Amino acid sequence: MDKIKIARALTIQENVPPSLISTLLRLLQNTTSPQHLFYLMDSIVHLFQNKNIPRNSIQQLGEQLFFKLNVLPTTPSPPSNEKVTMETINNWKGWADMFINGTIYETPKVVMDCKKSVGVHVASNGLLLRHSFANVFGTAISTHGVSKGQWYYEVTLFGQGLFQIGWATDNFNPSPEGGNGVGDDKNSWAVDLKRHAKWHQNDQGSLCQPYGEGVTIAAGDVIGCYLDLVQWEMKFSHKCEDLGLAFNDFFVGSGLYPALSMNLENECQLNFGDQPFKYPPPLPFLPFCQSENTEK
């Protein structure tokens, strides 16, 4: 595991030594642990996006990674602490497949912003999030916001802790150490299906109201997030169940951004529509990734 962590740290360099690529390939071929594969996967994805890496090396790493992604999770009866890791691995299969045969794709333009995100590790694809610090309420915010249109994105949960999922304006300022995340101020709106609540601080000072009562969340669940700037509504869904109107008293400012907060040992994957949705939205809602082509 120490060798894997060292290799992972070295992959962020612009000029990666050829010996590191050989080491990663050997470690990848020999690993039998989903947890080790998880760390290797994050390292290799950095290399996929490094234009200085020879295409034949990308091809070798991509083929071996894709093989492991499809074979390793079939191991029977994984330890309970590796089940969530394997869920994450399964969600990376489609993305890894893009790199087979040396085909290199850029990271999607609408992703979670590393510079705006605090207390959360944003993986190389910009969509996989892991809580990164103990005793803080980590927050991640997207790179792109909208002020018109009807949009949808999904969040797949890989933990059963607290998630506050929704939207935020440019003026949203999270406080991880203070426990303030999305929905905990006047510039953000969120739902928390573990505590069956919706969160927003309005002019009357109201912060928490009931929402999603009766819902039980579990690892693997998908939360759908709807933003309707025609009817002026924010709605959410749990798996395929419409949970109804959450907010209609929000403001846009210079734009609304997908945003979420989570507590210790949580993990999730966002899908803005670059990959097929688990629960596609009805028309006229569009995948949020298409908002990158619209003007605010």
Mean pLDDT of the chain: 79
Q: What is the pLDDT of residues 240-284, one digit of tens each?
A: 899 999 999 899 999 999 999 998 778 899 999 988 899 999 999
pLDDT confidence bin for 192, thresholds 50/70/90: very high
Residue 164's pLDDT is 96
- How far apart CA 153 and CA 271 sit, in angstroms, is 6
Tell me what the mean pLDDT of segment 215-228 comes to: 95
Residue 27's pLDDT is 78
- Whether the per-residue pLDDT at 222 is higher than 80: the answer is yes
List the structure tokens of 248. 């209609």
Peptide bond into 284 cis (omega under 30): yes
- Whether the per-residue pLDDT at 7 is higher than 70: the answer is no
Tell me what the mean pLDDT of segment 6-33 comes to: 65
Strands 150-157 and 286-287: parallel
pLDDT confidence bin for 28, thresholds 50/70/90: confident
For residues 34 and 170, the model is more confident at: 170
Residue 97's pLDDT is 53
Residue 110's pLDDT is 82
- Whether the per-residue pLDDT at 129 is higher than 60: the answer is yes
Residue 15's pLDDT is 62
Q: Give, in degrees to the nearest 5, the angle at Cα 186 between 180 and 191.
A: 65
Verdict on whether the full-model pTM lies above 0.75? no
Tell me what the mean pLDDT of segment 140-145 comes to: 94
- Whether the per-residue pLDDT at 96 is higher than 60: the answer is no
- How far apart CA 161 and CA 265 sit, in angstroms, is 8
Q: What is the pLDDT of residues 143-187, one digit of tens each?
A: 999 999 999 999 999 887 899 999 999 999 888 777 789 999 999
Radius of gyration of the chain (CA): 20
Residue 31's pLDDT is 78
pLDDT confidence bin for 101, thresholds 50/70/90: very low
Superfamily of the domain at 120-293: SPRY domain (2.60.120.920)
- How far apart CA 140 and CA 118 sit, in angstroms, is 7
Contact 270, 258 (CB under 8 A): yes
List the structure tokens of 7. 């290799």
Question: pLDDT > 70: what percent of the chain?
Answer: 66
For residues 286 and 174, the model is more confident at: 286
Instruction: Give me the amino acid identity at 287.
Output: P
Residue 29's pLDDT is 78
Q: Which of 22-36, 137-151, 203-217 has the highest mean pLDDT?
A: 137-151
